[in-house]
Chains A and B, each alone.
Chain A
């Protein structure tokens, strides 16, 4: 017991003295959260509408302008000559160009709409809005009673801010990196350097060694996640709606799964260099397809289906649902994720027991 404790303390000491690992495991996630938290992705989605009019049609253009602006920050209005606006449209700088002119023969208002084919959905939707505006106007002018009465009410929903969506995912990502690199950086490197050989020339048992590696990693992960949560709370007022012990339980399960993953890779790769070479693409793919940085809805359907089974997806989703919606083990998403992670853990442990080598060659 004494040996196990001393070894665990030594492992944790070594982690904190390693500048690289502190930077990657603490600083990096905090920076990601900070950056994404500050960025306002809403500004990504605005649509520019170009208005072309002359003195005779100005009043209509102005009324359309006001209506569109009142809808919200979504529409930005530009005004100019037809040539300029059409040029801007071909440069994908407009969703739509509206030309208001007086018809020479009928002396009525003609409206021409040029729609951006590349963004057809939004363009068509906007065009419908324009048509409705004029339909309403016509209705009023002709004093016909509308047949339908359509009303709306704005409901308060649990809107996730960017940070609310992001923080659980970043926590899941840190747990993944900790588990994977925790093995490669320590055990594989020890094996390569002959440190493992020297250790087992002493009465130290392999199980004591292994257990202390696992426990040290779990303790470090707990510390890491706590720091991330506390910082997110202080800076962005992240609240944990669900049970923190459930967060811890799922987090530990995820950590163990990724530790086993790391062992599996260490068994396949002979050196720490080739292990890192395998790790990089694996981590990258998982990070971007597990819904850590953005929702998986953007993935093509086939990819969406496959990546649902990734361990990081299970971990990120369940942490997010627990933290932002207070889900518990009774909810399908959560117990499915827990069972699936457990299955992953068992499979990876079995594989790594078969493939992991204590010796260098």
Chain B
């Protein structure tokens, strides 16, 4: 495997930077989110997993301040996002699945416009360098490839040098090279003591990146733990996987043949 899961995150220095208490939301009598509570520690990569319709998108949107809360409290770095959304949003960086932006502004202008919404801003040029879009400053969004659009979304989440990032399926639609590079990128965010909340349908991604994951279904959290602990627990229950020992898989072949460099 190319990435070793070097855990930079030191579980001994636990400080919750997000505190969710008894969060719930109802739609038409149906409890989409059913009184969930959990903490996210500063500097960790926290995954939220669950099948479609589990309520994770609704829960996360409430934590991000994009949706009204029915009941519960959400503290972002001790700021109540319901009472003080603007102050909370200052330290958040959010990547949504929708990746459309203004048709008639170029990449640089979009970065600067979004930057103007915050008190703290980063130089657009630095952002572009960081996501390897330096040559695309004057391009329009429609001139970018899928992978480049994804990198623009990431750049936009960093425009205010946030403490906490919410990434929604950051590697969907990317080829294996781009995926690995994105994983490296997310790991590097941890070096800056940023906290990342990640949603993904790729279990391998969650296993590789996340210090802990929460698994949701039907509006409730089924479990929160590190991927390793969860796997150990499963094995203790007597689960046996049919192991065909392969020393390499098709993805290794692919990378070997086509190389590790980013293809735009």
Task: Name A's B-contacting residues (CB within 8 A).
Answer: 2-3, 6-7, 10, 13-14, 17-18, 193-195, 197-205
Residues of chain B with a CB closer than 8 A to A2's CB: 116
Binary flags per residue of B141-163, CB closer than 8 Å to A gives 1, else 0: 00000000000000010001000
Bound-complex Cα distance A203 to B88 (A): 8
Bound-complex Cα distance A30 to B98 (A): 39
B71 to chain A, nearest CB (A): 20
Residue of B nearest to A201 (CB): B94
**With A14-B104, A201-B65, A203-B118 as contacts: A7 and B98 at CB distance below 8 Å:** no
The reply to whether A13 and B104 form a contact with Cβ atoms under 8 Å apart is yes
Question: How many residues on the B side are at the interface (Cβ–Cβ under 8 A)?
Answer: 28
The reply to whether B96 and A201 form a contact with Cβ atoms under 8 Å apart is yes
The reply to whether A195 and B102 form a contact with Cβ atoms under 8 Å apart is yes
The reply to whether B98 and A193 form a contact with Cβ atoms under 8 Å apart is yes
**With A201-B89, A204-B117, A205-B86 as contacts: A10 and B96 at CB distance below 8 Å:** no
The reply to whether B105 and A14 form a contact with Cβ atoms under 8 Å apart is yes
Residues of chain A with a CB closer than 8 A to B160's CB: 202
The reply to whether A195 and B101 form a contact with Cβ atoms under 8 Å apart is yes
- B103 interface hit (Cβ, 8 Å): yes
Top 8 A-B pairs, shortest CB-CB distance: A194-B98, A193-B100, A17-B104, A202-B117, A201-B94, A14-B104, A6-B116, A203-B86
Residues of chain A with a CB closer than 8 A to B94's CB: 198, 201
Which residues of B in the span 96-130 have a Cβ within 8 Å of any Cβ on A? 96-98, 100-105, 109, 112-114, 116-118
The reply to whether B90 and A203 form a contact with Cβ atoms under 8 Å apart is yes
Residues of chain B with a CB closer than 8 A to A194's CB: 96-98, 100
The reply to whether A202 and B66 form a contact with Cβ atoms under 8 Å apart is no
Residues of chain A with a CB closer than 8 A to B109's CB: 10, 13
Residues of chain B with a CB closer than 8 A to A7's CB: 113, 116
Bound-complex Cα distance A200 to B112 (A): 16
Residues of chain A with a CB closer than 8 A to B104's CB: 13-14, 17-18
B115 to chain A, nearest CB (A): 9
Residues of chain A with a CB closer than 8 A to B86's CB: 203, 205
A198 to chain B, nearest CB (A): 6
Bound-complex Cα distance A201 to B153 (A): 13
Dominant secondary structure of chain B at its interface with chain A: loop
- 23 example contacts (A-B, Cβ-Cβ < 8 A) are as follows A2-B116, A6-B116, A13-B105, A13-B109, A14-B105, A193-B98, A194-B97, A194-B98, A195-B100, A198-B94, A198-B96, A199-B117, A201-B66, A201-B89, A201-B92, A201-B94, A202-B89, A202-B117, A203-B86, A203-B90, A203-B118, A204-B117, A205-B86
- B64 interface hit (Cβ, 8 Å): yes
Bound-complex Cα distance A199 to B116 (A): 12
Number of A-B pairs whose CB atoms are under 8 Å?
63
Task: Name B's A-contacting residues (CB within 8 A).
Answer: 64-66, 85-87, 89-90, 92, 94, 96-98, 100-105, 109, 112-114, 116-118, 156, 160
Bound-complex Cα distance A135 to B222 (A): 108
B132 to chain A, nearest CB (A): 22
The reply to whether A3 and B117 form a contact with Cβ atoms under 8 Å apart is yes
Residues of chain A with a CB closer than 8 A to B118's CB: 202-203
Bound-complex Cα distance A201 to B101 (A): 14
Residue of A nearest to B166 (CB): A201
Residues of chain B with a CB closer than 8 A to A203's CB: 85-87, 89-90, 117-118
Residues of chain B with a CB closer than 8 A to A6's CB: 112-113, 116
Q: A3-B116, A202-B117 are in contact. List 20 more A-B contacts (CB 8 A).
A: A7-B116, A10-B109, A13-B109, A14-B102, A18-B103, A193-B100, A194-B97, A194-B100, A195-B98, A195-B102, A197-B66, A198-B101, A201-B92, A202-B114, A202-B160, A203-B87, A203-B89, A203-B90, A203-B118, A205-B86
B84 to chain A, nearest CB (A): 11
Bound-complex Cα distance A199 to B100 (A): 11
A3 to chain B, nearest CB (A): 6
Residue of B nearest to A198 (CB): B96
Residues of chain B with a CB closer than 8 A to A13's CB: 104-105, 109
Residue of B nearest to A192 (CB): B100
Residues of chain A with a CB closer than 8 A to B100's CB: 193-195
The reply to whether A197 and B96 form a contact with Cβ atoms under 8 Å apart is yes
Bound-complex Cα distance A241 to B101 (A): 46
